[in-house]
């Protein structure tokens, strides 16, 4: 081993081949790593391990590896250097192939620490590949360092190609930022990482004064880097509590993603199967934690997360991504398992601030930590997304898990949609099927609450929900609990889930609407809508909308299920004396026709009675139910496929499949 260092001729390639196993017990001080104390690290080797084993190595074999190493095994090596094979690789054109590390440990108090290699530095050109690492395995080897720590390579700060590598069964521990099961962090080079796996590993990060950036596979992925078909299997992300005001920025796969994660060329998807343990003590603070990614501004496609994360306190927590912003792109991805948070928690994404999501689905059970309603106006829990805040487009996305919380702003698909000034949130061709249980107000089978800025826009087209909504309290709707403000347009949507155990302001589509919204060509196809409270201090409830203020821009051509079991109260503020006539058609609303749309018809007498607007600012609550049109068929597909001119909803067969009793999105 000492001769390797002394015989490697600077400036030339020196060839070595192992002919037997080597046990280095007690020899740590008897050899020098290759290129240690060599000016400009000019020793270049071609090292053929010949499938032999070096055991009980006490420090790295290479200080700076230049050249190639292949078919070599390291067993039971415990080092205090940055890596077992090499502390560094630098330059260009180097390779490591079929190198195996087992039953070892790396414990270094510095940064840039890896089970195989500590750091790969850039060569003379950003376009040149510094290192190619192929079919290498690090198993049952713990790696400890102070930031940029990983099971295979600590810091891949160069253009690299890494493929077919595995980290299995060990623990990666960092006392500073950037740690991952495979790579701690990448540099911003056109690197490709493919067909790699982290299996049965634990990634632990403890940071007291900054954000973690920890991931089951990689802590931070820079913009130019692509990961293809890599996975995290049966692993654990264990995060201690940060200082108050700091964040996790951590995920089951990647902590912070600026780059691209996608499937491999043979369609193998990237995936994370992860258990997340978080000792967070910052209450409702934004921690950016996800089953796949904590923080995403990059592109994630064809990837899956299965997550188990309970008793997590904080916000911006998602089954797939905690926080999506700055033109984030997420396409054809899935999440499953369980996720919890204090607020702003979603089965797929906690907070979507900016970007697009297409063809994604969440089958994640969402629960709330703690018994209080949280800070702010609502807690924002959704089967797919907790909160949408700016320009976000969701297309062909779905939620199938349950939402069980004790707070406001909860929905089977989204907790709240709140675009700020001049921003637009669009939800198109999306659906939810999971049940929602919430003991607080402003809950919906699809969306809990919409409160855009006065110039903020919300567009919801061609969406539906089929889950049931249960739990006491007010302002609950089969589709949306409350529409409070903004420029809101809803078209060609339906709800079928039952609403039970609510108090007042219950509606088959919308519980309470206090905004200039437009709702057209929609259907409240719920089996049951039940309002449990009646009194002068309660709002009305309705078949389609429980409370529809006179400021509504347009409510037109909306239908109710003829088989709906409706228990609702309306009329004048003191009586609630009127019962809905079966074939009663509520007039359309255009914002100026309040004299016609605030009318209900008594079932027993046929007498029309107008609701009053006299008590809008008084002690009694307004009574403005909207019941829509009655349908002559109880088959929604028939009603939806019938042209509007012929008395139907006029939905497009290019978007909807009408072959079953309920329309389904194509």
Residues 6+ apart with CB under 8 A from 251: 215, 216, 237, 257, 272, 289, 290, 291, 292, 293, 294, 295, 321, 322
Q: What is the DSSP letter of 239?
A: E
Query: What is the end-to-end Cα distance of the chain in Å, rounded?
Result: 66
pLDDT of residue 601: 59
The tokens describing 255, both together, are 């902590």
Residue 595 CB: number of other CB atoms within 10 A?
Answer: 10
Q: Which of 411, 413, 324 is nearest to 363 (CA)?
A: 413
Distance CA 96, CA 283 (A): 46
Torsion of CA 641, 642, 643, 644, to 10 degrees: -110
Q: Which of 253, 226, 374 is nearest to 322 (CA)?
A: 253
pLDDT of residue 332: 98
**Interval 354-390: pLDDT, tens:** 999 999 999 999 999 876 544 445 789 999 999 999 9
The backbone torsions φ and ψ at residue 644, rounded to the nearest 5 degrees and listed phi first, read -60, -35
Q: What is the mean pLDDT of residues 20-33?
A: 91
The tokens describing 146, both together, are 């102070």
Strands (E), 279-423: 286-290, 293-296, 299-301, 303-309, 315-318, 321-324, 328-331, 334-341, 345-346, 349-352, 355-358, 361-368, 381-382, 385-388, 392-395, 398-399, 403-405, 410-411, 414-417
pLDDT of residue 615: 42
pLDDT of residue 242: 65
pLDDT band at 593 (very low <50, low <70, confident <90, very high): low
**Interval 629-661: pLDDT, tens:** 999 999 999 999 999 999 999 999 999 999 999
**Interval 456-487: pLDDT, tens:** 999 999 999 999 999 888 999 999 999 999 99
Q: Which residues pair with 167 in a beta bridge?
A: 138, 198
pLDDT band at 265 (very low <50, low <70, confident <90, very high): very high
Is residue 310 within 8 Å of residue 280, measured between CB atoms? no
Q: Which of 136, 119, 133 is nearest to 192 (CA)?
A: 133
Q: What is the mean pLDDT of residues 242-255?
A: 84
Q: Is the pLDDT of residue 613 over 50?
A: no
**Interval 227-248: pLDDT, tens:** 999 999 999 999 887 666 678 8
Q: What is the mean pLDDT of residues 169-188?
A: 96
The tokens describing 390, both together, are 């700016």
Distance CA 375, CA 396 (A): 32
pLDDT of residue 172: 98
Q: Which of 644, 646, 642 is nearest to 656 (CA)?
A: 642
Q: What is the mean pLDDT of residues 434-459?
A: 94
Looking at 232-241, 272-281, 587-596, which range is the least confident one? 587-596
pLDDT of residue 596: 45
Q: What is the mean pLDDT of residues 396-402?
A: 98
Return the percentage of the chain with pLDDT > 90, whole number.
73
Taking phi over 0 as left and psi of -120 to 50 as alpha, with beta for the rest, 199 belongs to beta
Is residue 552 within 8 Å of residue 590, measured between CB atoms? no
Average pLDDT, the chain: 90
Check residues 665 and 247 and name the one with the higher pLDDT.
665
pLDDT band at 22 (very low <50, low <70, confident <90, very high): very high
């Amino acid at each position: 081993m000492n001769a390797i260092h002394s015989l490697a001729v600077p400036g030339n390639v020196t060839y070595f081949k192992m002919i037997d196993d080597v046990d280095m017990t007690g020899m740590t001080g008897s050899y020098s790593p290759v290129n240690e104390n060599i000016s400009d690290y000019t020793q270049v080797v071609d090292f053929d391990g010949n499938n032999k084993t070096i055991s009980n190595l006490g420090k790295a074999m290479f200080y700076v590896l230049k050249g190639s190493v292949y078919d070599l095994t390291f067993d039971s090596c415990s080092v205090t250097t940055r890596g077992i094979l090499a502390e560094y690789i630098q330059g260009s054109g180097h390779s490591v192939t079929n190198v195996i590390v087992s039953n070892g440990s790396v414990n270094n108090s510095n940064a840039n620490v890896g089970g195989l290699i500590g750091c790969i530095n850039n060569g003379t050109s950003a376009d040149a590949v510094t290192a190619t690492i192929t079919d290498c395995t690090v198993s049952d080897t713990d790696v400890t360092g102070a930031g940029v720590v990983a099971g295979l390579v600590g810091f891949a700060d160069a253009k690299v190609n890494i493929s077919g590598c595995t980290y299995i069964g060990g623990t990666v521990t960092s006392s500073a930022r950037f740690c991952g099961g495979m790579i701690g962090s990448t540099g911003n080079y056109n690197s490709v990482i493919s067909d790699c796996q982290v299996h049965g590993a634990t990634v632990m990060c403890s940071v007291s004064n900054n954000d973690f950036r920890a991931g089951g596979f990689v802590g931070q992925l820079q913009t130019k880097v692509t990961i293809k078909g890599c996975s995290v299997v049966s692993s654990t992300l264990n995060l201690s509590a940060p200082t108050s005001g700091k964040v996790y920025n951590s995920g089951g796969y990647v902590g912070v993603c600026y780059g691209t994660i996608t499937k491999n060329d043979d369609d193998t998807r990237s995936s994370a199967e992860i258990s997340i343990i978080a000792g967070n003590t910052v209450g409702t603070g934004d921690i950016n934690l996800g089953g796949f990614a904590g923080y995403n501004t990059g592109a994630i496609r064809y990837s899956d997360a299965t997550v188990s994360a309970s008793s997590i306190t904080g916000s911006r927590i998602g089954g797939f991504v905690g926080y999506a912003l700055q033109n984030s792109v997420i396409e054809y991805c899935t999440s499953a398992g369980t996720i919890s948070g204090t607020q702003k928690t979603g089965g797929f994404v906690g907070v979507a601030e900016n970007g697009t999501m297409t063809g994604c689905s969440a089958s994640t059970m969402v629960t709330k930590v703690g018994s209080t309603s949280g800070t702010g106006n609502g807690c924002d829990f959704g089967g797919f997304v907790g909160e949408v805040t700016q320009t976000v487009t969701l297309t062909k996305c779905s939620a199938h898990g349950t939402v069980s919380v004790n707070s406001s702003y909860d929905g089977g698909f989204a907790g709240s949609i709140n675009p700020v000034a001049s921003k637009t949130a669009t939800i198109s061709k999306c659906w939810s099927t999971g049940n929602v249980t919430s003991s607080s107000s402003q809950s919906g089978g699809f969306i809990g609450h919409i409160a855009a800025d006065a110039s903020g826009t919300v567009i919801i087209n061609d969406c539906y929900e089929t889950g049931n909504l249960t739990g006491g309290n007010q302002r609950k709707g089969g589709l949306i609990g409350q529409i409070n403000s903004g420029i809101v347009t809803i078209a060609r949507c339906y709800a079928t889930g039952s609403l039970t155990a609510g108090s007042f302001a219950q509606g088959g589509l919308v519980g309470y609407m206090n905004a200039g919204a437009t709702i057209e060509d929609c259907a409240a196809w719920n089996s049951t809508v039940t309002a449990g409270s009646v009194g002068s201090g309660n709002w009305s409830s309705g078949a389609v909308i429980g409370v529809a203020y006179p400021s509504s821009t347009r409510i037109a051509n909306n239908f109710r299920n003829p088989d709906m079991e409706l228990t609702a109260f309306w009329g004048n503020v003191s009586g609630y004396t009127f019962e809905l006539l079966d074939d009663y058609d509520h007039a359309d609303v255009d914002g100026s026709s309040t004299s016609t749309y605030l009318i209900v018809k008594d079932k027993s007498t046929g007498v029309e009675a107008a609701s009053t607007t006299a008590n809008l600012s008084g002690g009694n609550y307004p009574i403005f139910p909207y019941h829509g049109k009655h349908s002559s068929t109880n088959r929604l597909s028939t009603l939806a496929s019938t042209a509007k001119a012929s008395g139907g909803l006029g939905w497009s067969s290019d978007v909807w499949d009408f072959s079953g009793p309920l329309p389904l999105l194509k």
